[in-house]
C-alpha cells in the first residue's frame, strides 16, 4: 500500500491488521491489532497523530486528518462507515460512525453510540454514550436499545472477521472474461441491516 514517512515519522501497522493496498498512510499513523482499513481510505498523519485502536475498522474512501498537535483517535471496536471524514476528534469504544458522516475538531462520539449516516458533528460537540444521533448538525434522538447495541457489535465482529479473511486470501488477480459454471459465492457471515433485525 502507499505508505509515506514525513520528517522521519513512519506509519505503524500491527501484523494482525489488514490495510488494503489502495489505502494511503502518511506519517504519524498507528494501526493497531485486528484493525481493518478499506480500499482508498486516507490516513494523513502529517499534522496530528492518527490512531486506530484494537479491533476498529475504517471502511472504503474514509478520510482521517487533523490540525497540528491534535490527535484523531478511533478507540477499541470503533466502526467507521464508508466515506466518513474524521478531523481531530475522538470516536469512543464500540461507537459507530455512519456512512458519509463528518466528525469535526475536538468533537467526541460517545462510547457505544451510533452516529447516523450523513450526520455532521460540529467542532467541540460531545455526543453522549449509548446514543442515537443524527442530522446536520447532529442531535441526540434517543438512547440506544440493547438490540441496537448488539447489532452494532455484531457488525464490528464481521469486520474483524474480514480482517482475518483478507489477510488469509485477498490477492490481486486478473478479472475473468465470463462467469464460470457453478460460480462460488463469498462465504461472508449472515449479518442483516438493522431494519431487517428489528423486523425479526
pLDDT in tens, 108-140: 999 999 999 999 999 999 999 999 999 999 999
Q: Decide: 56 and 76 in contact? Cβ < 8 Å.
A: yes
Please calculate the CA angle 44-47-49 and round it to the nearest 5 degrees: 70
Q: Which of 97, 92, 98, 85 is nearest to 44 (CA)?
A: 85
Query: Predicted confidence band at 62 (pLDDT cuts at 50, 70, 90)?
Result: very high
Q: How far apart are CA 193 and CA 200, in angstroms?
A: 11
C-alpha cell of residue 47: 499534522
The neighbour count for residue 40, using CB atoms within 10 Å, is 14
Contacts of 89 (CB under 8 A, 6+ apart): 66, 72, 103, 104, 105, 106, 107, 108, 109, 121
Q: How far apart are CA 161 and CA 23, in angstroms?
A: 19
Domains belonging to the chain, first-starting first, are 3-143 (2.160.10.10)
pLDDT in tens, 154-187: 999 999 999 999 999 999 999 999 999 999 888 8
Query: Predicted confidence band at 198 (pLDDT cuts at 50, 70, 90)?
Result: low
pLDDT in tens, 19-38: 999 999 999 999 999 999 99
Q: How far apart are CA 169 and CA 173, in angstroms?
A: 12
Amino acid at each position: 500500500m502507499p505508505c509515506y514517512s514525513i520528517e522521519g515519522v513512519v506509519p505503524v501497522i500491527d501484523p494482525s491488521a489488514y490495510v488494503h493496498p489502495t489505502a494511503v498512510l502518511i506519517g504519524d499513523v498507528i494501526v493497531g491489532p485486528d484493525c481493518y482499513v478499506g480500499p482508498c481510505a486516507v490516513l494523513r498523519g502529517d499534522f496530528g497523530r492518527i490512531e486506530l485502536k484494537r479491533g476498529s475498522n475504517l471502511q472504503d474512501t474514509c478520510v482521517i486528518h487533523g490540525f497540528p498537535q491534535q490527535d484523531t483517535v478511533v478507540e477499541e471496536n470503533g466502526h467507521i462507515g464508508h466515506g466518513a471524514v474524521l478531523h481531530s476528534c475522538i470516536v469512543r469504544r464500540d461507537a459507530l460512525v455512519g456512512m458519509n458522516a463528518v466528525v469535526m475538531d475536538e468533537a467526541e462520539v460517545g462510547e457505544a453510540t451510533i452516529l447516523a449516516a450523513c450526520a455532521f458533528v460540529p467542532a467541540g460537540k460531545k455526543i453522549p454514550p449509548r446514543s442515537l444521533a443524527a442530522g446536520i448538525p447532529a442531535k441526540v434522538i434517543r438512547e440506544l436499545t440493547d438490540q441496537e447495541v448488539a447489532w452494532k457489535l455484531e457488525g464490528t465482529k464481521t469486520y474483524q472477521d474480514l480482517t482475518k479473511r483478507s489477510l488469509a486470501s485477498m490477492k490481486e488477480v486478473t478479472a475473468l472474461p465470463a462467469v464460470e459454471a457453478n460460480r462460488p459465492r463469498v462465504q461472508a457471515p449472515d449479518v442483516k441491516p438493522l431494519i431487517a433485525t428489528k423486523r425479526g
